[in-house]
Structure 1
């Protein structure tokens, strides 16, 4: 969930927020759910992740792959998704949080 936590931190900084409560309010979720997301026991929706990706100029494809890796319940699937994630990540020669639209 490191990518998701980094995405949340980047979003907080970009919006000028000082607390996770502000992020939770912006995403229309409870503070408890956001805390569980940060701990890896709950997940944001694809729509929420798309919103965060757009707001932070983060690569949405990698965010979704990261989500699928963490939601996977089968080790073999997780390995395949991790390989795809690493291949996709190496494809981009820029920072994960740079302008995705120019890739």
Structure 2
């Protein structure tokens, strides 16, 4: 059983965007996702440590939840120029623990 209690009541501004204290609790819909992983080959030193690090799977899952992929497709017969099909700005593929924040084209004025 897992119980999540969320409450935020402040008498003054917490400098997080509202500009005032929060005293009117509103019911909001929340979606929680749990990622359960088995621990394989745990190290004795790691077992004694109070801090552990997220796995690669948890990094990827977090990236997909916080920054969902927005596919932008074209029709097959739309006549996409060949130049767009061969553009490759990187020498190798991006590491899986990185994601693109913003990608836009440069246009002349």
> TM-score, structure 1 length as denominator?
0.24
Query: Which protein, 1 or 2, shows the higher relative CO under an 8 Å CA cutoff with sep ≥ 6?
Result: 1
Q: Please say which structure displays the higher CA radius of gyration.
A: 2
- TM-score relative to the length of structure 2: 0.23
